[in-house]
C-alpha cells in the first residue's frame, strides 16, 4: 500500500513558546484512507495539520508525501491538497459564489461548484453575502472551499464543529464518498462520533505526543470488552450494574440479579471510542 504521508519524529515549537506543541510524532497516512487525529483541545492537532499543509515550515523531523520530502515540494503541492481550516475564512462582503470563484481561481483544475453547493444546501444562498451567513452555513461553505480544486488529499480540521446532526451527516457522507473515489483524508477532531463513523485509522494525540495509532475496530478489540448492563428496581429506585459478556451464563452475581430483582432493562453494548480514549490516555476528550 502506498503511503500518502510518512511522518518521522515530527516536532514543532511556536516562536517564543516554552515547549513543543508537537513533540516527536511518528505516523503514516495511507493513500485512500481516512486518517483521524484525535485528541483534547491543545493536543497539537491543528499544528500538525498546519505543518502537513506547509503553513508552518520550520519543523523538525521528516515528512514524506508520496515518497517526496515535503520540504522539496513546490507549488504543485497546493494543487493536490484541499484544506478545511478550523476557523472558516471567507470574505464577508462577498457572496458565497464570489468567494468560491475567487479561491477556485488559484488552481488549474477545479470541482463542480454548483454540485458541491447544492449538496451542502447552499446553492440557493450562493448570492448572499457570507457576512450574513449563519455559523453552520459558513462551516459548510468552508468544506466546499476545501473541495474546490478536486484535491487528491483532503485536510479537515474539526470539520463538523458547529453543525447540526443533519448537516454533519451530509458532510460525513461527502467525506466518505471522497474516499471511495480514491481520495485520502487527514482529519482532526475532538468528536468520537466522527471517528466511529468515518475513520479507517485513528491516532490518539495528547500534549503533542501520540499514544496509539490503530483502527477503531482493533482498538475496540484490544481495549473494549462487550458488556451487559442490567437496570433493576431496588429500594424504590433504579440501580444499574454491568457485567462482562464473557462467561455471562456462569456469572453468579448476574444470574442472581435476574432471579431476584425486578429487571427494568437489559442490554449489551461495546466500549465506545470515548471510553477507549480515556483508558489509553487518561484524559477526557471534550
Ligand atoms: N500560534 C500559536 N502560537 C503559540 N502557541 C500556539 C499557537 N497555536 C497553538 N499554540 C499552542 O500549541 C499547542 C497545540 O495547539 P493546537 O495545535 O491548536 O491544538 P489542538 O488543535 O489539538 O487543539 C497548544 O498548547 C496551543 O496553546
Ligand atoms: Mg485545533
Give the mean pLDDT of the chain. 92
User: Do residue 214 and residue 264 come from a single domain?
Assistant: no
pLDDT at 286: 58
Is 152 part of a structural domain of the chain? yes
Same domain as 100, residue 43: yes
* pLDDT value, residue 256: 95
- Please state the atom number of ligand 1 nearest to the C-alpha of residue 16: 4
Percent above pLDDT 90 for the chain: 75
Domain of residue 145, CATH code: 3.40.50.300
Cβ–ligand 1 contact at 46 (below 6 Å): yes
- Mean pLDDT value across residues 255-266: 94
Query: Which domain covers residue 138, as residue numbers?
Result: 3-221
Task: Give the mean pLDDT of 191-218.
Answer: 89
Mode of pairing for the β-strands spanning 237-244 and 262-269: unpaired
Q: What is the mean pLDDT of residues 50-79?
A: 95
Assess if residue 281 is contained within a domain: no
For residues 131 and 60, give the distance between their C-alpha atoms in angstroms, rounded to a whole number. 39
With respect to residue 153, please indicate whether it lies within any of the assigned structural domains. yes
Is the C-alpha dihedral spanning 274, 277, 281, 282 positive or negative? positive
Burial class (CB in 10 A: 0-12, 13-18, 19+), 98: middle
Looking at residue 162, its pLDDT comes to 86
Choose the residue to mutate in 36, 47, 157, 210 for probing ligand 1, maximizing ligand atoms within 8 Å of C-beta. 47
Q: Which residues contact 167 (CB under 8 A, 6 or more apart)?
A: 120, 121, 136, 139, 140
Specify the number of domains making up the chain.
Answer: 2
Q: Are residues 43 and 185 located together in one domain of the fold?
A: yes
- Calculate mean pLDDT across residues 37-59: 94
Q: What is the percent of the chain with per-residue pLDDT over 70, rounded to a whole number?
A: 99
Q: How confident is the model at residue 268 (pLDDT cuts 50, 70, 90)?
A: confident
Q: What is the reported pLDDT for 285?
A: 63
Q: Are residues 169 and 250 in the same domain?
A: no
HSE-CB of 23 using CA atoms within 13 angstroms: 13
Residue 279 lies in a domain: no
pLDDT at position 5, please?
Answer: 97
| Residue where a domain stops, chosen among 221, 239, 256 | 221
Q: Which of 167-176, 184-193, 220-229 is modeled with the greatest confidence?
A: 167-176
**Is 278 within the bounds of a domain?**
no
Ligand 1 pocket residue status of 268, Cβ below 6 Å: no
Based on the fold, state whether residues 127 and 70 are members of the same structural domain: yes
**pLDDT, average across residues 223-249:** 88
Distance between Cα 130 and ligand 2 center (Å): 23
Residues 205 and 241 in one domain: no
Nearest to 96 by CA among 83, 112, 114, 82: 114
Residue 185 C-alpha from the chain's centroid: 9
- CB of 20 closer than 6 angstroms to any ligand 1 atom: no
Amino acid at each position: 500500500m502506498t503511503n500518502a504521508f510518512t511522518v518521522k519524529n515530527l516536532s514543532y515549537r511556536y516562536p517564543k513558546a516554552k515547549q513543543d506543541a508537537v513533540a516527536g510524532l511518528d505516523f503514516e497516512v495511507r493513500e485512500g484512507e481516512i486518517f483521524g487525529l484525535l485528541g483534547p483541545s491543545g493536543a497539537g492537532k491543528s499544528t500538525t495539520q498546519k505543518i502537513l499543509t506547509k503553513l508552518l515550515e520550520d519543523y523538525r523531523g521528516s515528512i514524506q508525501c508520496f515518497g517526496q520530502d515535503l520540504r522539496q515540494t513546490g507549488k504543485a503541492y497546493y494543487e493536490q491538497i484541499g484544506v478545511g481550516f478550523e476557523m472558516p475564512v471567507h470574505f464577508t462582503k462577498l457572496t458565497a459564489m464570489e468567494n468560491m470563484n475567487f479561491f477556485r481561481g488559484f488552481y488549474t483544475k477545479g470541482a463542480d461548484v454548483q454540485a458541491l453547493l447544492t449538496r451542502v444546501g447552499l446553492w440557493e444562498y450562493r448570492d448572499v453575502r457570507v457576512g450574513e451567513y449563519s455559523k453552520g452555513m459558513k462551516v459548510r461553505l468552508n468544506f466546499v472551499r476545501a473541495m474546490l480544486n478536486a484535491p487528491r488529499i483532503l485536510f479537515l480540521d474539526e470539520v463538523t464543529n458547529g453543525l447540526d446532526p443533519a448537516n454533519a451527516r451530509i458532510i460525513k457522507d461527502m467525506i466518505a464518498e471522497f474516499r471511495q473515489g480514491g481520495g485520502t483524508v487527514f482529519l482532526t477532531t475532538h468528536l468520537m462520533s466522527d471517528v466511529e463513523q468515518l475513520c479507517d485509522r485513528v491516532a490518539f494525540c495528547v500534549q503533542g505526543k501520540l499514544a496509539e495509532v490503530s483502527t477503531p475496530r482493533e482498538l475496540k478489540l484490544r481495549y473494549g470488552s462487550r458488556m451487559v448492563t442490567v437496570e433493576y428496581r431496588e429500594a424504590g429506585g433504579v440501580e444499574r450494574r454491568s457485567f462482562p459478556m464473557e462467561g455471562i451464563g456462569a456469572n453468579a452475581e448476574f444470574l442472581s440479579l435476574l432471579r431476584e430483582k425486578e429487571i427494568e432493562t437489559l442490554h449489551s453494548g461495546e466500549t465506545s471510542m470515548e471510553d477507549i480514549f480515556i483508558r489509553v490516555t487518561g484524559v477526557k476528550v471534550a
